[in-house]
Amino acid sequence: MSDFFNNSDTSQLETENLVSETLQGYDDGELYLENSKSESLSLDDGKIKNTSFNTNLGFGFRAVSEDKTAYCHSNIISKESLKNAAQNLKSNIDSKTKNKNKNDHPKKTNVNLYEDKDPIENKPFKEKVELLKQIDNYIRKKNLNIKQVSASLFGEHQTVEIIKSDNQVYKDHRPLVRFNVSVMMEKNGKKETGSYGTGGRMNYENYLSNDNWKIICDEAIRQAEVNLQSKPAPAGEMKVVLGPGWPGIILHEAVGHGLEGDFNRKKTSAFHNLMGEKIAHENVTIVDDGTIASRRGSLTIDDEGTPSARNVLIENGILRNFMQDRMNAKLMKVKPTGNGRRESFEYAPMPRMTNTFMINGNSTREDMIRSVDKGIYAVSFGGGQVDITNGKFVFSCTEAYEINSGKIGAPLKGVTLIGNGPDILTKVSMVGDDMKLDPGIGTCGKNGQWVPVGVGQPSILVNQITVGGTNI
């Protein structure tokens, strides 16, 4: 029995019957029930500056007919609100054929990619506060040049239930945590910052027990120390080696969004007419994999009930697949890929990435560095922008180094990478054997909706990319 109806004047069976009756004749649709809670705590200069706790309970009711969608949502789960939503769906979109969607439901999965444990309840609030203060004390003792310390914890537990026609029900319980540290260091009148974080679909203890948090603090300190030694970045066209892990955010933004089904069905993506064609170097294989246990972007089922999957998007340089939700997959006459996602019950699902990354090649990072006479080694990134229609992007580096005569040189400040997603794929000449995923900090925005995601890649050598710097 579902917990969603414990305090409601309607029952699980009544609701399932209402959903089946409402969706008769439509291509697809579902009732999406959500109960979530989240907390955040932030410390700044030894003091707890902000704390918050939020709960979210409600439903989203959707009907789909061809490329048209009707959607209603409410934060009240009651007989009246559900009936009103059902009537609104029917009045806003016409059904076409009786029993049109019968038996066209996702296959259920017995695989659970994360434990059903509530990270918020798992660790007492007082212990979280004490931990943040302990972090502040540790960082300040570690380096006397530290002038400012910020640390934050975020935890969430989400329960979803998806009811489709024919009384088909899909359930998922989703934990999520994130831990971030930022420091500001001053030396000889120069101030620089460093930051690092981690997270995933686990409890706090997975990241913060046995002093694991010290690794995060040490990395934030290291980045600030590196930035204090940085010099102005050069500008111009040059070779760039992108390091493993978080630099995969460029693939996510400049390439990944362009491989989402809705953009390609509407032919607004630069990739829409390139299926089956070679669009990258033969060493480039990119996948979207929502099945990696406990990763930030992973999902046991997506927000339509489809089990997540490992989808090969680009294989040996050839475009093989797009990421699909159910509606776009049906219209494009392909199978859903488990990428139908939504921020909350207030939104209808759409194709979104999960964990998107490039797999290993057979080169080493050292070989790449040695092959570059003059260029940039980019280790980590901050913010960026991309235009989906043409793939053009701009990304700022938070850690980068010059390469001179095949050797890594001084750290650089003010490095931005400017390019075009489809074009950069053709200029990748070497793919490393050191693939890793990001530490679990990614959040992706699309059409006003934000969802947790993962990125990753091995080191790669891009033969030519525009570098925007401060030293021209």
Burial of 254 (0-12, 13-18, 19+ CB in 10 A): buried
Q: What is the reported pLDDT for 73? A: 98
pLDDT at 64: 97
CA–CA separation, 241 and 419 (whole Å): 14
Q: Is the domain of 259 the same as that of 346?
A: yes
Whether 69 is in a domain gets the answer: no
Residues 146 and 251 grouped into a single domain: no
For the ranges 75-84, 151-160, 202-211, 213-222, which has the lowest average pLDDT? 202-211
Where does the pLDDT of residue 171 fall: very low under 50, low under 70, confident under 90, or very high at 90 and above?
A: very high
In this structure, what token pair is assigned to residue 459?
Answer: 């080191």
Same-domain pairing of 214 and 317 = no
Q: Which residue has the higher pLDDT, 253 or 39?
A: 39
Q: Is residue 113 part of a domain?
A: no
Question: For residue 102, is pLDDT > 60?
Answer: no
Q: Is 322 within the bounds of a domain?
A: yes
Residue 17, domain member (yes or no):
no
Is residue 284 helix, strand or coil? coil
Among the ranges given (75-89, 365-379, 417-431), the one the predictor scored with the smallest mean pLDDT = 417-431
Cα gap 191→157, rounded to integer Å: 38
Verify that 352 and 213 share a domain, yes or no: no
Q: Record the tokens describing residue 340, joined without a space.
A: 């139908």
Residue 332 host element (H or E): none
Say whether 399 sits in a helix, a strand or coil.
Answer: strand
**How much is the pLDDT for 94?**
83
Do 189 and 250 belong together in one domain?
no
356 pLDDT more than 80 = yes
| Cα–Cα distance measured from residue 286 to residue 458, given in angstroms and rounded to the nearest whole number | 11
Cα–Cα distances (Å) from 306 to 299, 309, 353, 385, in that order, read 10, 9, 14, 30
107 in any annotated domain = no
Same domain for 282 and 155: no
Structural domain harbouring 405: 236-468
Task: Show which of 196, 228, 260 is a domain's final residue.
Answer: 228
- Is residue 358 within a helix (H) or strand (E), and if so which, with residue range? strand 355-358
Let me know whether 139 and 277 are in one domain: no
Classify residue 301: in a domain, yes or no: yes
Phi, psi of 454 (to 5 degrees): -125, 155
Asked, for residue 27, whether it belongs to a domain, the answer is no
As for how many domains the chain has, the answer is: 2
User: What is the number of residues in the chain?
Assistant: 472
Query: Where do we find the tokens 């694991």?
Result: 212
Q: In a 10 Å sphere around its CB, with 0-12 CB exposed, 13-18 middle and 19+ buried, how is residue 400 labelled? A: buried
Q: Mean pLDDT score of the chain, rounded to an integer?
A: 93
Predicted pLDDT of residue 3: 87
Residue 177 maps to which CATH number? 3.30.2290.10
Interval 448-465 mean pLDDT: 96
The dihedral over CA atoms of 259, 382, 415, 421, expressed in degrees to the nearest 10, equals 0
With tokens 């930022």, the residue in question is 182
Same domain, 286 and 417: yes
First to last CA, the chain: 66
Residue where the block lists tokens 């990614």 = 442
- pLDDT tens by residue, 139-167: 999 988 999 999 999 999 999 999 999 99
Beta-sheet strands, E only, within 188-230: 190-200
CA distance 431 to 358: 9
Which residues have CB under 8 Å from 49's CB, separation 6+? 42, 43
Q: What is the pLDDT of residue 32?
A: 98
Q: 187 and 259 in one domain?
A: no
Identity of the residue numbered 6: N
Query: CA dihedral in degrees (431, 436, 437, 439; nearest 10)?
Result: -140
Whether 129 is in a domain gets the answer yes
Calculate what percentage of the chain has a pLDDT beyond 70. 97
In terms of domains, do 200 and 255 share one? no
* pTM score: 0.94
Q: What is the pLDDT of residues 371-414, one digit of tens each?
A: 999 999 999 998 777 777 777 889 899 999 999 999 999 999 99
Residue 38 has pLDDT above 90, yes or no: yes
Q: Mark whether 315 and 205 lie in a shared domain.
A: no
pLDDT at 444 over 80: yes
pLDDT at residue 172, rounded to an integer: 97
Q: Which of 189, 209, 228 is the last residue of a domain?
A: 228
pLDDT, tens digit, 9 for 90 and up, residues 308-351? 999 999 999 999 999 999 999 999 999 999 999 999 999 999 99
Decide if pLDDT at 98 tops 60: no
Are 286 and 374 members of one domain?
yes
Q: How confident is the model at residue 100 (pLDDT cuts 50, 70, 90)?
A: low
pLDDT of residue 101: 52
**Average pLDDT score over residue span 423-449:** 94
Last residue of a domain, one of 182, 211, 228: 228
